[in-house]
């Protein structure tokens, strides 16, 4: 790869001579591949027992692992069971730093396609709530799919800009992640298209946008709340400058010391991940806490964290479905939106006037007098929740055929079955005399 002189000049200014030549050398390194185990579905220990891939721990992520470049995990049925997500190693550092805690209300403002939302969800373990947002309508679809595949039940997926969000949600969030749109310099090794579009004008354009986003989103963070700002770029304009402009303008924030890992270049609340110092791509993160305190904020916070009434009865049609098909009786707050039944997260979030793509766990469609369970429902279940299941071994031809939406032969009880791979749900099917009518969604078909 021939790097543009203007880009190299900017890097030269940031590094010593020796560091700079190591940085250039890193462009000749082999590509680095990594995944993160989805602990909503399987513990790291269990995954390591069944993993068909040779894995090596990523130091800064408790559930992140490198795999060998010869492997193709996204083609494995476990990927389709949502047991892991392919995520670049450095990209795991912002959520590791933010460390959402069970019960937190978290905003992931620039979320698509969802790698970091999934990581936040693993930390929350379906407690609290995640508002996961992206401004791009086109990128909402993959975000929704990744959330469904991962079995996340406590997220609202929304499609707004920072102004709309701040207008609606004042001092609402315990934690905010701004994984900002950027010039992507840290990803040049991985994605040449980012490099082709790079120019100093782009750097300037993004730095303005980042400052605008940060300036506005401040109002949405609770007093005492934490914010991580991250990019996958090297330019000072988009990193140190953005966070320093923000800190100057908003005097009520302090930096939080960043967790130290070998190779991270840390100065107080700011960290840089350089590709010649760690096994991963380029990244930047800053961690800050809002510190000011006013009497009226307490009332605001209390109002915001109202719990939903948990005894809300499910619609009769779903009661019947549970009786006939499930061992578990789900209780919670149910809502029907456009003939689709959802179970909402336990913390009440007012989404009126907001463009919402998903509200919590999509259970299924109500079609005339029938309840048709959704793929998202299947992906959020455990095998024990369902009366009839068909287990397909991960090495079988049948599981691949199922994931390719083909009809297969399978022995089991007639009726609706949850289809499993080695005990982990992958979708629905109906058995009739040893033939499985495939209900795997065409849009999820394995390629």
Ligand X SMILES: C[S@@+](CC[C@H](N)C(=O)[O-])C[C@H]1O[C@@H](n2cnc3c(N)ncnc32)[C@H](O)[C@@H]1O
Which residues are catalytic, by number?
232
Q: Which residues on adjacent β-strands are paired with residue 331?
A: none
Q: Which residues on adjacent β-strands are paired with residue 34?
A: 66
Query: Checking DSSP bridges between strand 173-179 and strand 361-367, what pairing results, if any?
Result: unpaired
Run of H or E residues at 204: helix 200-217
Q: Which residue is nearest to ligand X (CB)?
A: 110
Helix-then-strand count for the chain, H and E: 15, 23
Pick 239 or 438: Cβ nearer ligand X: 239
Applying CB under 6 A, among 97, 104, 174, 179 the residue interacting with ligand X is: 179
Burial of 98 (C-beta count, 10 Å sphere; 0-12/13-18/19+):
buried
Contact between 181 and ligand X (CB under 6 A)? Answer: yes
Q: Which residues on adjacent β-strands are paired with residue 431?
A: 415, 436
Contact between 110 and ligand X (CB under 6 A)? Answer: yes
Applying CB under 6 A, among 97, 134, 226, 281 the residue interacting with ligand X is: 134
Applying CB under 6 A, among 136, 137, 199, 292 the residue interacting with ligand X is: 136
Nearest-approach distance from CB 212 to ligand X, in angstroms: 8
Contact between 161 and ligand X (CB under 6 A)? Answer: yes
Return d(Cα 8, Cα 274) in angstroms, integer.
14
Q: How many residues bind ligand X (CB under 6 A)?
A: 19
Provide the annotated binding site for S-adenosyl-L-methionine: 110-116, 134, 179
Nearest-approach distance from CB 206 to ligand X, in angstroms: 9
Applying CB under 6 A, among 115, 314, 373, 380 the residue interacting with ligand X is: 115
Pick 194 or 379: Cβ nearer ligand X: 194
Applying CB under 6 A, among 113, 128, 151, 345 the residue interacting with ligand X is: 113
DSSP 406-446: --EE--S-SEEEEEEETTEEEEEEEEETTEEEE---GGG--
Nearest-approach distance from CB 116 to ligand X, in angstroms: 4
Contact between 95 and ligand X (CB under 6 A)? Answer: no
What backbone phi and psi angles, to 5 degrees, belong to 147?
-65, -40
Q: Is residue 178 classed as helix, strand or coil in its secondary structure? A: strand
Contact between 137 and ligand X (CB under 6 A)? Answer: no
Applying CB under 6 A, among 64, 82, 100, 114 the residue interacting with ligand X is: 114
Contact between 364 and ligand X (CB under 6 A)? Answer: no
Nearest-approach distance from CB 172 to ligand X, in angstroms: 16
Return d(Cα 244, Cα 194) in angstroms, integer.
26
Burial of 35 (C-beta count, 10 Å sphere; 0-12/13-18/19+):
buried
Q: What track of x and - describes contact with ligand X for positions 210 through 229 (by CB under 6 A)?
A: ---x----------------
Which DSSP state fits 326? Answer: B
**Chain residues in the site for ligand X (CB under 6 A):** 91, 109-116, 133-136, 139, 161-162, 179, 181, 213
């Amino acid at each position: 790869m021939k790097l543009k002189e203007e880009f190299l000049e900017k890097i030269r200014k940031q590094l010593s001579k020796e560091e700079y030549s190591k940085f250039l050398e890193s462009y000749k390194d082999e590509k680095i591949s990594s995944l993160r185990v989805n602990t909503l579905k399987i513990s790291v220990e269990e995954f390591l027992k069944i993993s068909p891939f040779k894995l090596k721990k990523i130091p800064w992520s408790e559930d992140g692992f490198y795999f060998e470049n010869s492997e193709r995990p996204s083609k494995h049925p476990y990927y389709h069971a949502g047991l892991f997500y392919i995520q670049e190693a450095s990209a795991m550092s912002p959520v590791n730093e933010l460390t959402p805690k069970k019960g937190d209300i978290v905003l992931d403002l620039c979320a698509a396609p969802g790698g970091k939302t999934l990581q936040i969800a693993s930390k929350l373990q379906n407690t609290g709530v995640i508002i996961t947002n992206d401004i791009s309508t086109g990128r909402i679809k993959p975000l929704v799919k990744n959330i469904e595949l991962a079995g996340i039940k406590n997220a609202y997926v929304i499609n707004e800009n920072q102004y709309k969000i701040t207008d609606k949600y004042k001092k609402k969030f315990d934690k905010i992640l701004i994984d900002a749109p950027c010039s992507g310099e840290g990803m040049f090794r991985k994605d040449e298209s980012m490099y082709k579009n790079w120019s100093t004008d782009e750097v300037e354009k993004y730095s303005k946008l980042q400052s605008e986003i940060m300036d506005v989103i401040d109002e949405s963070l609770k007093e005492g709340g934490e914010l991580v700002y991250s990019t996958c770029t090297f330019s000072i304009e988009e990193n140190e400058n953005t966070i320093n402009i923000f800190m100057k303008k908003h005097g009520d924030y302090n930096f939080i010391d960043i967790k130290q890992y070998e190779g991270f270049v840390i100065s107080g609340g700011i960290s840089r991940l350089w590709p010649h110092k760690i096994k991963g791509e380029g990244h930047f993160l800053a961690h800050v806490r809002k510190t000011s305190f006013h009497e009226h904020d307490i009332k605001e916070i209390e109002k915001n964290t109202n719990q939903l009434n948990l005894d809300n009865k499910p619609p009769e049609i779903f009661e019947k479905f549970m009786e006939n098909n499930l061992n578990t009786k789900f209780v919670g707050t149910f809502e029907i939106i456009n003939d689709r039944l959802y179970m909402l997260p336990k913390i009440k979030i007012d989404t009126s006037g907001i463009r919402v793509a998903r509200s919590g766990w999509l259970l299924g469609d109500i079609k005339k007098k029938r309840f048709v369970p959704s793929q998202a429902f299947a992906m959020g279940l455990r095998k024990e929740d369902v009366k009839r299941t068909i287990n397909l071994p991960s090495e079988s031809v049948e599981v691949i055929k199922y994931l390719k939406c083909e009809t297969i032969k399978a022995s089991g009880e007639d009726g609706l079955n949850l289809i499993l791979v080695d005990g982990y749900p992958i979708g629905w099917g109906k058995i009739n005399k040893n033939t499985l009518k495939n209900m795997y969604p065409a849009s999820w078909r394995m390629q």
